[in-house]
Amino acid sequence: MAVDQPVQPEPFDTHQGTVQETPGEHKTFPPFDATTFASQLLWFAITFALLYYLMAKVALPRIGSILEGRRDRIAADLDQAERLKGESEDAAAAYETALGEARARASAIAESAREAAKSKADAQRAEVEGSLAAKLADAETRIAEIKTQALAEVGTIAGDAADAVVNTLIEGKVTAKEVKDAVADVLAARNANA
């Protein structure tokens, strides 16, 4: 067999289960073949230069513009956030002011309602007290009239009772006028002591 001719592998022996190898020389892995180092280095340099040029002229400027755009957008967002924060603080201060004013107005309304209710209650109380005082004066007048009438009748009743008692005990020896005069004297003495 000649060295320049390719080696033809022989078919597998299917009956015995072993592979028959042909004797020949072993080839090296192509990237590690020393005879091709010069061309590999040349292509490496060309590829490196081409990739460096593409990165420097196309990819890196694009990435730089993207980063610059992000930086500008972040700065704008931060400025807007600061502005919105100031607006929210102003709105919170306005809210607190409005809330304080509303509380003051509510307090004033409650105070005026309290005063109105108090004055109305005082007026009603004065009216009721006046009505009760008038009724009390009327009742006292009626009681005095009834008492005077009762006391006037007491003399008559006492005279009749005394006349009946004296006539029962003494059996008619005293006149009704004498009994009434005696009762009137006793009542006059009693009223003078009171």
Map out the domains of the chain as residue ranges: 39-193
Q: Residues 151, 118: contact at Cβ < 8 Å? A: no
Question: What is the DSSP track for 110-138?
Answer: HHHHHHHHHHHHHHHHHHHHHHHHHHHHH
Torsion, CA 21, CA 25, CA 29, CA 30, rounded to 10 = -130
Q: What does the pLDDT look like over 18-61, one tens digit per residue?
A: 555 555 566 778 778 888 888 999 999 999 999 999 999 999 99
Q: What does the pLDDT look like over 51-83, one tens digit per residue?
A: 999 999 999 999 999 999 999 999 999 999 999
